[in-house]
Amino acid sequence: MALPLGGRGAPVHRPVLLRETIELLAAERGGLFVDCTVGLGGHSEAILQASSKAEVLGFDRDGEALESARMRLAQFGSRFRAVHADFRDITRVLATAKVKQVRGILADLGVSSLQLDTPSRGFSFRHDAPLDMRMDAASGDETAAELLGRLSEVEIARIIFEYGEERRARRIARWIVERRERGEPIQTTRDLANLVARAVSAKQRRIHPATRTFQALRIAVNHELENLDRFVADAVDHLEPDGRLAVISFHSLEDRIIKRTLGKLSGRCQCPPRLPQCTCGARKAVEILTRRPVTPDEKEVAGNSRARGAKLRAVRKLTTPIE
């Protein structure tokens, strides 16, 4: 079901670090850009507005998001094309589109407000719905409820601890598995939110007690950290000389992978110091444009709480890469 943009009750997603991203992509130069996570099309729209010679190939693995972006960006005619794909397949998708190199690539990772605010998608503890959380229901991924019904207590605890940084992960996992063993598996968002709220001490928490657990499950259901390093390397390969790659992440594990991979591609060896020879494959293919990640200022966070924790890193492809 496509949801319209604008008007009462329609989905709104405020693009994070918009001005900074467009500047780092140097979108005013025009050319072909790939928006790997087109979402509701906010960043794509700004790229298309930056130059009448800009074109965008927009990927998303969420068909509903893509439909909304298509409607929003129809005004740009053939300058915007939408592709229902996982950005980790960038090489295959570009080959099919007969595109070798592009001027810029953007990945704004994570989840969109459309996904969070559509109750039936099961991403949010704020609405009661089946515990789904899949960005692409056609992908064959298990739902969050199926995952909690299949994984061992140790595996559930690891996911909640690692991806959610939740101190009470073990207790939450134990309670989830106890429910399952009683023949009452967790099926809905409300069910899970209530269980987590009881399992953790809700006092003195700035955020809803289930926030971390929901984030962790979403990352696991959608394999969000898998092959991110390979994607970044592939993206750099598809940039033309002087082309730009910008990545916005919202999770410390994501940012660590992005930082390390971009470091390696800028020629900085990531091997442990005592190793006699470099084995990490560092090569000087890019110049880092953001020595420190760009983060939203207080004003942006005040107007858009989803921007909190965002980190933007960008690189420029070198004209003559040095091995």
Nearer to ligand SAM (CB atom), residue 61 or residue 238? 61
Kindly report the number of other CB atoms within 10 A of residue 253's CB atom. Answer: 15
Q: Please answer whether residues 125 and 133 qualify as being in contact, where contact means their C-beta atoms are separated by less than 8 angstroms.
A: no
We find the least distance from the C-beta atom of residue 136 to ligand SAM, in angstroms, to be 7
We find the least distance from the C-beta atom of residue 85 to ligand SAM, in angstroms, to be 7
| Cβ neighbours for 301, distance < 8 A, ≥ 6 positions apart | 307, 308
Does residue 80 touch ligand SAM according to CB under 6 A?
no
Nearer to ligand SAM (CB atom), residue 256 or residue 268? 256
Does residue 11 touch ligand SAM according to CB under 6 A?
no
Pairwise CA distance, residues 71 & 78, whole Å: 13
Kindly report the number of other CB atoms within 10 A of residue 278's CB atom. Answer: 12
Q: Hey, which residues between 201 and 240 contact ligand SAM (CB under 6 A)?
A: none
Does residue 37 touch ligand SAM according to CB under 6 A?
yes
Pattern of binders to ligand SAM over 96-125, x per CB under 6 A?
A: ------------x-x-x-------------
Pairwise CA distance, residues 50 & 21, whole Å: 12
Pairwise CA distance, residues 107 & 83, whole Å: 14
Pairing of strands 239-249, 311-322: antiparallel
We find the least distance from the C-beta atom of residue 254 to ligand SAM, in angstroms, to be 11
Nearer to ligand SAM (CB atom), residue 112 or residue 118? 112
Does residue 88 touch ligand SAM according to CB under 6 A?
yes
Q: Which of these, 16, 148, 5, lies nearest to 72 by C-alpha position? A: 5
| Cβ neighbours for 202, distance < 8 A, ≥ 6 positions apart | 209
Residue 281 structure tokens: 């494959």
Nearer to ligand SAM (CB atom), residue 124 or residue 266? 124
Nearer to ligand SAM (CB atom), residue 65 or residue 239? 65
Point out which span in 85-93, 161-169, 187-195, 297-305 binds ligand SAM (CB under 6 A).
85-93
Number of residues this chain uses to bind ligand SAM (CB under 6 A): 20
We find the least distance from the C-beta atom of residue 93 to ligand SAM, in angstroms, to be 10
Nearer to ligand SAM (CB atom), residue 83 or residue 176? 83
- For residue 311, the surrounding DSSP H or E stretch is strand 311-322
Residue 166 structure tokens: 């939740």
Does residue 39 touch ligand SAM according to CB under 6 A?
yes
Angle at 46 between CA 42 and CA 52, to 5 degrees: 140
Does residue 43 touch ligand SAM according to CB under 6 A?
yes
Cα dihedral value 237, 238, 242, 244, nearest 10: -100
Pattern of binders to ligand SAM over 55-74, x per CB under 6 A?
A: ----xxxx--x---------
Q: Please answer whether residues 14 and 304 qualify as being in contact, where contact means their C-beta atoms are separated by less than 8 angstroms.
A: yes
Does residue 135 touch ligand SAM according to CB under 6 A?
yes
Nearer to ligand SAM (CB atom), residue 253 or residue 282? 253
Does residue 21 touch ligand SAM according to CB under 6 A?
no
Q: Please answer whether residues 39 and 108 qualify as being in contact, where contact means their C-beta atoms are separated by less than 8 angstroms.
A: yes
Does residue 311 touch ligand SAM according to CB under 6 A?
no
Pairing of strands 102-108, 54-60: unpaired
Phi, psi of 127 (to 5 degrees): -125, 150
| Chain contacts with ligand SAM (rule: CB under 6 A) | 13, 15, 37, 39-43, 59-62, 65, 86-88, 108, 110, 112, 135
